[in-house]
Amino acid sequence: MIKISVTLLTFLFSMAVKAQDDSTMIKKITDDVLTNGKAYEYLRVLCKDVGPRLSGSPQAAKAVNVTKKMMEDLKVDKVWLQECMVPHWVRGKKEEAKIIFKDGKTYKLDVTALGNSIGTGDKGVKANVIEVKNFDELNKLGEKVIKGNIVFYNFPMNPTYINTFRAYGESGRYRFNGPSQAAKYGAVGCIVRSLASNVNDYPHTGVMGYNDSFPKIPAVAISTLDANYLSTALKNKTEKQVFFRTNCQMLDSVKSYNVIGEIRGTEFPDEIITVGGHLDSWDLAEGAHDDGSGCVQSIEVLRVFQALGIKPKRTIRAVMFMNEENGGKGGDKYYEEAKAKGEKHIFAMESDEGGFTPRGFGVSGNKEAVAKIMSWANLFRPYGVNDIHEGGGGADIGDLKNLGTVLSNIYPDSQRYFDIHHAATDTFEAVSERELKLAAAMMASMIYLVDKYGL
Ligand SMILES: [Zn+2]
pTM comes to 0.95
Q: Report whether 89 contacts 54 (CB < 8 A).
A: yes
Q: Tell me 341's DSSP state.
A: T
Confidence at residue 3, expressed as pLDDT on a 0 to 100 scale: 64
Residue ranges of the chain whose pLDDT lies below 50: none
- Cβ 273 vs Cβ 346: under 8 Å: yes
CA of 412 to the centre of ligand 1 (A): 13
- How far does residue 85's CA lie from ligand 1's centre (Å)? 19
pLDDT in tens, 107-159: 999 999 999 999 999 999 999 999 999 999 999 999 999 999 999 999 999 99
Cα of 217 from ligand 1 centre, angstroms: 25
Distance 83 CA to ligand 1 centre (A): 20
- Give me the pLDDT at residue 321, please: 98
* Cα gap 429→61, rounded to integer Å: 23
Residues marked active site are found at 324
Cα atoms in the Cβ-side hemisphere of radius 13 Å centred on 104: 0
Residue 272, CB-side half-sphere exposure with 13 Å CA sphere: 25
Round to whole Å and give the CA distance between 83 and 333. Answer: 8
pLDDT at residue 8, as a whole number: 76
What does the alpha-carbon distance between residue 23 and residue 147 come to, in Å, rounded to a whole number?
64
Q: What's the distance, CA 171 to chain centroid?
A: 16
